[in-house]
Structure 1
Amino acid sequence: MVKKIIGILGCGWLGYDLALKLKSQKYNVRGTSRNSEKLKKLTEKGIESFHVDLQENKIYGDIQGFLEGLDILVIDIPPGLRKNQESDFAYRIKMFLRFVQVYEIGKVIFISSTSVFEDREDIPSYDENSLPNATDNNGIKITAAEQVVQEMIDKPVIIRPCGLIGEDRHPIKYLAGRKEVKNPDAPVNLVTRDHVNSLIFKVITGELNVFVIHAVSEPHESREEYYQKAAKDFGLESPRFELNSRSLGKKIVSGL
């Protein structure tokens, strides 16, 4: 049986790990990056690499070569809103999908974010049936990108990871020792990179056949409780939380 050709648009921290896992399962894998060193690493791992860069008004690189013949496409590029709050993420996705529409790609998986949901004092729970309701700039723009994908692609799969963590990446490293950290009572919404990539793999193999997936793997402990434990585990100074104001938050849950 011939293995499918899978393309990953954006081989960052999550996408690169996914590419390696798929390659280990004998899939034909293509990956993109804007970084020449990352492209070199992909090539060294036997992954066909392509320079593709989605700028505000133009896409640079060999986008046709990347897309031609793909069976499955995973879109995993950051919105870039931390560096540029005015960036039109939805428009950049739309530019790219105009190319995607030319090719007969069987399945498109879009890696979104739970930022599409609003934090509130009543700590609402959001599952895969919940409608995005973000009111902040980041959440609104990611929601708009999701809508573009759903409008332009037939039956795409939207995966919304919570905050990503892994062996070399954990928020306690940035919170350690900090004072007056907000929202002590809000539940933690985190997911390991391995869990997200296991979900993507199940979509690729057909084991999961749904159109919206929430990726969450860590317990919904309060931020104060969770990060105090994490600080101890990492041998770091515990953060100190602001206890005199009400917490804003949300609980991301999954029906899968």
Structure 2
Amino acid sequence: MIDFSIKESVINTISILGSGWLGLPLATQFYKQGFSVKASTRHNDRFSEIASSGASAFIVDIDELAESGEFLQADILIINITSKNISGFARLIQQIETSPIQKVLFISSTSVYQNLNREVTEDEQAENHDSELWQIEQLFQTNKNFETTILRFSGLIDERRHPGRFFRNGRSVPQADAPVNLIHLNDCLGIIDAILQQEAWGEIFNGCAETHPSKREFYSYARQLMGLSPPEFDIESDIKYKIISNQKVKNKLNYRFQHPDLMKIAF
């Protein structure tokens, strides 16, 4: 089990905006470590599932944002939703400004980087500035009323998001010879843990496994694990890709990946 204890911390309450694939396991782990946890959903029928994690459930919809009130009565806010509603996030920031929250962890995506056909890092201005997600990141990073760390995850995988099921029903894999950028759920949780424990605020971090096999290699391997034949692959001579560097989380946070080699994950 990942240790979510934050030594000598004054953090008592953590709010998690988004309680899906990553948010619900986060809520469970924080609760087990003794924190008061609040988790949001857009649907009332998920309240019992959230309650089973130990968290208190709240309705928060970034697209129709009402006064978030009690949900934002917290020490730390972790934002973990896929919305790209810029105006919705701008309204959320206004509410954060009048709340007790001083620290925000914004879960973003490495899709903000341009396809430069090489390795990209957090500190070289390799982002696509037309990306709505990058523009949302900027809203948080430039706000002086609280500190924000941006955590950009690559493609998310585990047993529930088994990559052997990504390309089914005759779907072919595009850019077959391009490298993959993926990360296991356990490492998502571990990196978040490291950020909170080390109080690494005001930073940008990439979260991505160590290895980058080609899509052809990796998805054939993932399907083999399920006893299935390889998927169909599109053959394209002009491939566009990026290789996500994970050096910063290893160097600055001293983080050691639990699943560094994608070709050795057993799922």
Query: Once the two structures are superposed, what CA deviation does each residue of 1:4-54 show, in whole Å capped at 9, x if it has no partner?
Result: 210001111111111111111111111111121222211233211111111
Cα distance in 2 between the residues matched to 1:49 and 1:145: 25
CA spacing shift, 1:131–1:170, aligned 2, 3 Å: farther
Match of residue 59 from structure 1: 65
User: Are 2:142 and 1:151 aligned?
Assistant: yes
Query: Once the two structures are superposed, what CA deviation does each residue of 1:170-196 show, in whole Å capped at 9, x if it has no partner?
Result: 233031574653212211100111111
Contact 1:179 1:242 in 2 (8 A): no
**Alignment match of 2:115 (pick from 109, 113, 119):** 119
CA spacing shift, 1:180–1:109, aligned 2, 3 Å: closer
Match of residue 196 from structure 1: 188
Q: CA offset at residue 218 of structure 1?
A: 5.2
Cα distance in 2 between the residues matched to 1:130 and 1:178: 39
Contact 2:80 2:107 in 1 (8 A): yes
SS of the equivalent of 1:245 reads coil
**Alignment match of 1:167 (pick from 153, 159, 168):** 159
Cα distance in 2 between the residues matched to 1:44 and 1:16: 10
Contact 2:148 2:201 in 1 (8 A): no
**Structure 1 unaligned blocks of 5 or more:** 80-87
User: Are 2:129 and 1:129 aligned?
Assistant: no
Tell me how large the CA RMSD over aligned residues is: 2.1
Q: CA offset at residue 65 of structure 1?
A: 0.7
SS of the equivalent of 1:40 reads helix
1:214-233 to 2 correspondences below 5 Å: 214-217=206-209, 219-233=211-225
Q: CA offset at residue 244 of structure 1?
A: 4.7
Contact 2:18 2:80 in 1 (8 A): yes
Match of residue 75 from structure 2: 71
CA spacing shift, 1:148–1:3, aligned 2, 3 Å: closer
CA spacing shift, 1:67–1:244, aligned 2, 3 Å: closer
1:1-256 to 2 correspondences below 5 Å: 4-55=12-63, 58-60=64-66, 63-68=68-73, 70-79=74-83, 89-120=85-116, 123-134=117-128, 140-153=131-144, 154-176=146-168, 178=170, 180-206=172-198, 208=200, 211-217=203-209, 219-255=211-247, 256=249
Q: TM-score, structure 2 length as denominator?
A: 0.82
- Number of residues paired by the alignment? 239
For 2:174, give the aligned amino acid: K
Query: Once the two structures are superposed, what CA deviation does each residue of 1:76-122 show, in whole Å capped at 9, x if it has no partner?
Result: 1112xxxxxxxx622111110100011232311001111101224xx
Contact 1:52 1:59 in 2 (8 A): yes
**Structure 2 unaligned blocks of 5 or more:** 1-7, 250-267
SS of the equivalent of 1:78 reads coil
Contact 1:20 1:45 in 2 (8 A): yes
Percent identity of paired positions between Structure 1 and Structure 2: 29
Contact 2:148 2:202 in 1 (8 A): no
For 1:156, give the aligned amino acid: T
CA spacing shift, 1:152–1:208, aligned 2, 3 Å: closer
For 1:67, give the aligned amino acid: L
Cα distance in 1 between the residues matched to 2:103 and 2:199: 14
SS of the equivalent of 2:189 reads helix
Cα distance in 2 between the residues matched to 1:9 and 1:180: 34
